[in-house]
Amino acid sequence: MRIYAASMRQGRFFFRVTSLIVVFMLGFGSVFFLLYYGPIGRTSLVVSLESSSTGFGEVFYRDSEDEQFSAIRSVGVPISQGANSISFTLPRLSKGSDLNVRWDPLDRPGEFRVRDIHFRNGLLSREVPVSDLKPSVDVSEVQYDEVAIFSTQSNDGQLLLTHRLGSLWANSIALTFAIAAVVSLLITTLFAVIRVRSRDGLPIARQELAASPSNYIAYRVMRNTVSLTVLIVSLIFFVSWLSVV
């Protein structure tokens, strides 16, 4: 009888630890997925500028100088006359390598003053010197001061910008991991506190069901089924996440 009781205690302890691990994994995976694969986790190029005309601006991007710029890998936004703060949403970074960008400021001739440029990835941002902008096609010489001043001479003026985003990507991943870990730890702690709130050291639900063995058995079966379902869903989620990465 003592051996049976000890075995039952070990089984309950294992079940509780497993439940906490499952809750932590599920919370961590969910928070990480929302932060990294949601809109907030996308990479974006943010440009603050003044334009002399209204029109449409476009950014073309590539991961290597060996690739060609194409309309398939481009993002466009409307530009208004006067001050603008425009954001070009780029594909999610996967390697943190050099990002080569061709910026077509406007689909017509115009004059521009670029105040600042930022790359954003996840919750982090990095300022890029405006002097990194290089004229390419149908663009006047760029005057660099505290701002970059230039003009486009046709409806297809182009500037080039190359920037290494490796550390920004790595720091963004680290911050996302840290936030996911802290949030999931809080969720797990809350779950554990709720579980241990009891009468005479036993869970309230077990005390209330102890008077009816059939109800207690059904309760345990239901809990085990739910826990197994959560574990299976977590594994499916984790495997899907690995396949996306």
Residue that wins the pLDDT comparison between 228 and 89: 89
d(CA 110, CA 102): 17
Q: The tokens of 217 are what?
A: 């058995």
Query: Residue 221 contacts by C-beta under 8 Å, 6 or more apart in sequence?
Result: none
- Do residues 174 and 123 make contact, with C-beta atoms less than 8 angstroms apart? no
Which tens digit of pLDDT belongs to each residue from 31-44?
787 777 777 778 88
- Across residues 195-217, what is the average pLDDT? 53
Q: Tell me the mean pLDDT in the region 216-225.
A: 60
Give 107's pLDDT tier (boundaries 50, 70, 90): very high
| Percent of the chain whose predicted confidence (pLDDT) is above 90 | 25
Q: Average pLDDT of the chain? A: 76
Residue 154 clears pLDDT 60, i.e. is over it: yes
Q: Which pLDDT band holds residue 69 (cuts at 50, 70, 90)?
A: confident
pLDDT attached to residue 242? 47
Banded pLDDT at 235 (limits 50, 70, 90):
low
In this structure, what token pair is assigned to residue 209?
């069901």
| pLDDT at site 229 | 56
pLDDT at 201 over 50: no
Average pLDDT score over residue span 110-132: 89
Pairwise pLDDT comparison (176 vs 81), residue with the higher score? 81
Q: What is the pLDDT of residue 245?
A: 43
- Average pLDDT estimate for 86-100: 72
Helix (H, G, I), strand (E, B) or coil at 201: coil
pLDDT score of 72 = 87
- Burial class of residue 210 (count of CB atoms within 10 Å of its CB; 0-12, 13-18, 19+): exposed
Other beta carbons within 10 Å of 178: 10
CA triple 157-161-162, angle to 5 deg: 150
Q: Judge contact between 160 and 102, C-beta under 8 A.
A: yes
Residue 92 — φ and ψ, nearest 5°? -65, 135
Identify the residue whose tokens are 């970059």: 148
Q: Binning pLDDT at 50, 70 and 90, where does residue 27 land?
A: confident
Q: How far is CA 56 from CA 3, 64, 86, 113, 218, in A?
A: 77, 26, 11, 16, 64
Task: Determine the pLDDT at residue 19.
Answer: 74
CB atoms within 10 A of CB 236: 10
Q: What is the mean pLDDT of residues 153-166?
A: 86
Can you tell me the mean pLDDT for 48-77? 87
What pLDDT is recorded for position 40?
75
The domains found in the chain, sorted by start residue, are 9-36+174-244 (no CATH), 42-164 (2.60.60)
Asked if residue 51 lies in contact with residue 81, where contact means CB atoms within 8 angstroms, the answer is: yes
3 state DSSP class of 241: helix
Tens-digit pLDDT profile for residues 126-147: 888 888 899 999 999 999 888 9
